[in-house]
Amino acid sequence: MTKSQVKSKKKQVNYLYGRLPCIILFTWIFLLGSFTTQAQDTIKKPKIGLVLSGGGAKGLAHIGVLKVIDSLGIKIDYIGGTSMGAIVGGMYASGYTGKQLDSIFKTLTIDDLVQDNIPRKSKILINKRNDDIYALVLPFKKLKLETPNALSKGLYNFNFLSKISYHVRNTRDFKKLPIPFFCMATDIETGQQVVLDKGIFPQALVASSSIPSIFYPIEIDGKLLIDGGVTNNYPVEKLRELGVDFVIGVDVQEELKTRKDLQGITTIFGQISNFNTQSQMESKRKLTDIYIKPNIKGFNVLSFENGKKIIENGENEARKFLKELAVFQNNDYQKPQLTPVKDSIYVGNIGFTELKNYTRAYVLGKLRFKPNTKISFQDFQNGIQNLNNTQNFSSVRYQFNDKDIFIALRENKINTFLKFALHFDELYKSSALINITHKKLFSKNDMVSLDVILGDNFRYDFNYLIDNGYYFSFGISSNLNKFNKNINNAFGIENYLNNNFDKINLDYSSLSNKIFVQTVFLRKYNIGGGLELQQLSLKSENLPRANKTIEDSNYLSFFGYLNHDTFDNKFFPKRGWYFKSNFNYYFDSSDYTNQFNKFSIAKADMAIAFTPLKKLSITIQNEGGFKVGYSSLPYFDFVLGGYGFKDTNNIRPFYGYDFLGLSGNSYVKASSVVDYEFYKKNHINFTYNASIVGNFIFNSTKTWLNKPSFTGFGLGYGLETLVGPVEIKYTWSPETHFSAFWFNLGFIF
């Protein structure tokens, strides 16, 4: 080492000695900081648990509490709930915020939940027809009336929860949700409480909230489960067992009522069910650190229409505990905002339970979607509801396995139904309908149905259908329609009038027998066709001649049709549209009058409904028809007039003219209806219609594009009831000054 190097080294050593106190000081600061950090890390953060009680609609108050918890930045580490507490808590555990849950749940209605409500527009044609005709349906098994286990299968709830929990569809262990979660149910066979912390998430929530007698029990892992509130409506002890350090509890259970408040059977049953839960609450409250009991006085388990107020009450009560909750406030924490579920899903493979009486094509035909397709969530759930509405399955449940779907179906052992309806109108008069429907009569997928209509005019409607879903279905039908009416301008009656007769009393009878095939076109349209044999009879006892028969012939025709209907309500539509078209080619007849030549009849009817203002809806409708050929037979003419009756052949309603008041072998008609629902299910409406009716009006554009020859108005009141609409109409025409009141009761058949 050189002298210069030695000298340099000494300078470095002296420098270090001079800085030694500083080095020692910084070393101690560093060590102290590290020790402090490690000490802080070893301090255990309290594990916060949240328990939410059951209470039906009253459980919506939980959402208000969650909104306050979110506003304080409190991070919940475990959630346990029962019934509605399970649903709200489960959705919060899956990632939703309190504010998001407020938007989702406050619009629920009891009709949706209890009636497994599915919009009419989403139903297949046969289900629309059933709902639009029958007021009462009774299931029979071996000639004995079967009473249902509950009011609802809970399918609406399951569909609803499956949609909003789609983002956690692959989670089978609830501890792996964004917030670990469990819920309670009750084994109806043993009476024991059951903890649900694994399985199909929405199914567990539905089981926990299956209120006895309102919702069907749910089978999970061989156990038949009902509402967890029966055995444990406030599962705080389970949370403690899972190791939480601090419990926030929200209780929406009712206190026991005094004799003064025990009014009615529902309150008495509620009091009985509360005996067990209230006796347990003293010990459960001791396990709860912050006990929040929102004001739910005046509400019950079905008060979903008051959802907004109940949520508000929950939020107000939680704010009374801001000081206690602030201990856990974390200004740096904010619950992540869950991205809303897209309204479309990709359906990969479709699997379902092996069925004894129904084919795969039948099931897919009711679903109205096929494997490996992208559809809206609404279309998916409509398909599931269509399966349920067939009444062929006592249980319909499904699970998502990533993109694949497995549908668990349990075939209904009940295959016979009696159905009833009542109706009155000014054409067919009083009618009482009795229907018997039987399924699986001869083969898989088949159904036979017979309507017998008693009253002023005996009628019947028979149908047999082998339903093959997406493939062609085969059927036969037979129906008889009869009425008696005084008329002066239809079916050639004007030829028999004279000075002594300005009207003739007509007995009209139409017996139609069909064989047909039908299928689904573009997943929406019903298309079909076949062969029809129709017997048409017109007689009048006051004809001024010995022979009282006007017409008595058989007619053979080929027919085809294409139909689509998305009206949300057949009688008082607010939204949707429909299109109906029919074509008949008559090629042979027994020809009672010796006037038959081959001819065709084509007709179409379309309408659209919309709601420009709340409670105010408008329906615009157009229809028309014409004859092709030179047959002079007037018996298939288009006949307009009256309101509220079932369409028969080419007889159509028209305001301002009496029943069967206008006729011709071709016509166009337009109408508009303005309807105002001034109170729930109560309507006032105004109708205007106009028409051109005559013979071969489409031979010249000048004829059918002219100013309408016939117009009419209608002003009415309508009430939606269990037996169908009850309507009274006042109608008049400016051309003839005809006016009348018409009364209509019940579903039209």
What is the pairing mode between strands 78-82 and 48-52?
A: parallel
Per the domain annotation, does 53 fall within a domain?
Answer: yes
Say which range, 361-375, 506-520, 572-586, has the weakest mean pLDDT. 361-375
H/E element holding 428? none
CATH code of the domain covering residue 406: 3.10.20.310
Residue 407 and residue 443 share a domain:
no
* Sign of the torsion angle spanned by Cα atoms 513, 127, 428, 606: negative
Residue 421 and residue 404 share a domain:
no
Q: Is 504 exposed, middle or buried (0-12, 13-18, 19+ CB in 10 A)?
A: buried
What is the pairing mode between strands 710-721 and 724-732?
A: antiparallel
Q: How far is CA 172 from the centre of its chain?
A: 28
Say which range, 599-613, 684-698, 699-713, has the weakest mean pLDDT. 699-713
Distance CA 300, CA 311 (A): 14
Q: Is 664:637 a contact under the CB 8 Å cutoff?
A: yes
pLDDT band at 718 (very low <50, low <70, confident <90, very high): very high
**Could you tell me which residue, 258 or 21, shows the higher pLDDT?**
258
Q: What average pLDDT does this structure show over 490-513?
A: 86
Q: Nearest CA to 571 among 386, 744, 390, 385?
A: 744
Tell me the three state secondary structure of residue 661: coil
What pLDDT shows up at residue 618?
Answer: 99
Per the domain annotation, does 302 fall within a domain?
Answer: yes
What pLDDT shows up at residue 259?
Answer: 74
Give pLDDT tens digits for 274-328: 777 777 888 999 999 999 999 998 888 888 889 999 999 999 999 999 999 999 9
Token pair of 50 as six digits: 């949240």
Token pair of 31 as six digits: 């060590």
H/E element holding 21? helix 3-42
Percentage of the chain beyond pLDDT 70 is 91
Q: Is 84:61 a contact under the CB 8 Å cutoff?
A: no
Please, which residues have CB within 8 angstroms of residue 376's CB and are 6 or more apart in sequence? 343, 344, 345
Amino acid at 627: K
Q: Is 233:278 a contact under the CB 8 Å cutoff?
A: no
Q: Nearest CA to 572 among 616, 604, 606?
A: 616
Per the domain annotation, does 36 fall within a domain?
Answer: no
Q: Is the pLDDT of residue 165 over 80?
A: yes
H/E element holding 226? strand 223-227
Domain end marker among 285, 300, 327:
327
Residues of the chain by 3-state class (helix, strand, coil), percent to 5: 25, 40, 35
What 8-state DSSP symbol labels residue 156? Answer: H
Alpha helices of 115-264 — where are they, by DSSP H? 125-133, 155-164, 201-208, 236-241
What 8-state DSSP symbol labels residue 394? Answer: E
Alpha helices of 358-414 — where are they, by DSSP H? 360-367, 377-389
Say which range, 94-98, 198-202, 470-474, 602-606, has the weakest mean pLDDT. 470-474
Residue 507 and residue 639 share a domain:
yes
Residue 174 and residue 109 share a domain:
yes
Domain end marker among 411, 440, 461:
411
Token pair of 212 as six digits: 């006895």
**Could you tell me which residue, 28 or 199, shows the higher pLDDT?**
199
What pLDDT shows up at residue 416?
Answer: 94
Q: Is the pLDDT of residue 273 over 70?
A: no
Residue 189 and residue 52 share a domain:
yes
Q: Nearest CA to 566 among 526, 527, 515, 625?
A: 526
Residue 580 and residue 549 share a domain:
yes
Distance CA 160, CA 74 (A): 28
Residue 642 and residue 512 share a domain:
yes
Domain end marker among 411, 436, 458:
411
H/E element holding 7? helix 3-42
Token pair of 11 as six digits: 């300078």
Distance CA 513, CA 463 (A): 10
Per the domain annotation, does 189 fall within a domain?
Answer: yes
What pLDDT shows up at residue 18?
Answer: 52
Q: What average pLDDT does this structure show over 449-454?
A: 98
CATH code of the domain covering residue 270: 3.40.1090.10
Number of other residues whose CB lies within 10 A of the CB of residue 533? 15
pLDDT band at 584 (very low <50, low <70, confident <90, very high): very high
Q: What average pLDDT does this structure show over 682-696?
A: 97
Q: Is the pLDDT of residue 37 over 50?
A: no
Residue 387 and residue 257 share a domain:
no
pLDDT band at 139 (very low <50, low <70, confident <90, very high): very high
Alpha helices of 253-375 — where are they, by DSSP H? 265-286, 307-319, 322-325, 360-367
Per the domain annotation, does 9 fall within a domain?
Answer: no
Q: Nearest CA to 473 among 530, 534, 407, 556?
A: 530
Per the domain annotation, does 719 fall within a domain?
Answer: yes
Token pair of 699 as six digits: 């031979």
Kindly compute the dihedral angle of the four CA atoms of residues 451, 454, 457, 463, in this order, to the nearest 10 degrees: 10
H/E element holding 436? strand 429-439
Give pLDDT tens digits for 361-419: 899 988 989 899 999 998 999 899 889 888 899 899 999 998 999 999 999 989 999 99
What 8-state DSSP symbol labels residue 55? Answer: -
Looking at the structure of the chain, the number of domains it has is 3
Q: Is 561 exposed, middle or buried (0-12, 13-18, 19+ CB in 10 A)?
A: middle
pLDDT band at 635 (very low <50, low <70, confident <90, very high): very high
Mean pLDDT, the chain, integer: 89
Residue 496 and residue 349 share a domain:
no
465-482: b (≥16 Cβ within 10 Å) or e = bbbbbbeebbbebebbbb
Residue 468 phi, psi dihedral angles, 5° rounding: -105, 20
Beta-bridge partners for 359:
none
Residue 718 and residue 692 share a domain:
yes
What pLDDT shows up at residue 27?
Answer: 44
Residue 485 and residue 542 share a domain:
yes
Q: Which of 12-16, 125-129, 520-524, 681-685 has the highest average model confidence (pLDDT)?
A: 681-685
Q: Is the pLDDT of residue 112 over 90?
A: no
Q: Which of 54-58, 252-256, 635-639 has the highest average model confidence (pLDDT)?
A: 635-639
Distance CA 163, CA 201 (A): 11
Per the domain annotation, does 13 fall within a domain?
Answer: no
Q: Is 709:693 a contact under the CB 8 Å cutoff?
A: yes
Supply the Cα-derived Rg of the chain in whole angstroms: 35
Distance CA 537, CA 553 (A): 7
CA 625-627-632 angle, 5° bins: 140
Q: Is 231:275 a contact under the CB 8 Å cutoff?
A: no
What pLDDT shows up at residue 489?
Answer: 85
Give pLDDT tens digits for 59-92: 999 999 999 999 999 999 999 999 999 999 999 9
Domain containing 603: what range?
416-746
User: Which DSSP string do the residues of 597-637 spell out, in sequence order?
Assistant: --EEEEEEEEEEEEEEETTEEEEEEEEEEEEES-----TT-
Q: Is 311:340 a contact under the CB 8 Å cutoff?
A: no
Residue the block writes with tokens 């808590």:
89
What pLDDT shows up at residue 2?
Answer: 52
Q: Is 629:612 a contact under the CB 8 Å cutoff?
A: no
Q: Is the pLDDT of residue 638 over 70?
A: yes
Q: Is 55:301 a contact under the CB 8 Å cutoff?
A: yes
Token pair of 387 as six digits: 């399966």
Distance CA 741, CA 749 (A): 21
Kindly compute the dihedral angle of the four CA atoms of residues 293, 95, 84, 306, in this order, to the nearest 10 degrees: 70
- Euclidean distance between the first and final Cα of the chain, in Å? 119
What pLDDT shows up at residue 257?
Answer: 74
Q: Is 48:290 a contact under the CB 8 Å cutoff?
A: no
Per the domain annotation, does 6 fall within a domain?
Answer: no
* Sign of the torsion angle spanned by Cα atoms 114, 116, 119, 125: negative
Residue 252 and residue 203 share a domain:
yes
| Helix axis angle, 155-164 to 84-93, nearest 10° | 20
How many alpha carbons lie under 13 Å from residue 264 in its C-beta half-sphere?
A: 3
Question: Long-range contacts of range 21-24, CB-CB < 8 Å, 24 or more positions apart?
Answer: none
CATH code of the domain covering residue 504: 2.40.160.50
What pLDDT shows up at residue 572?
Answer: 98
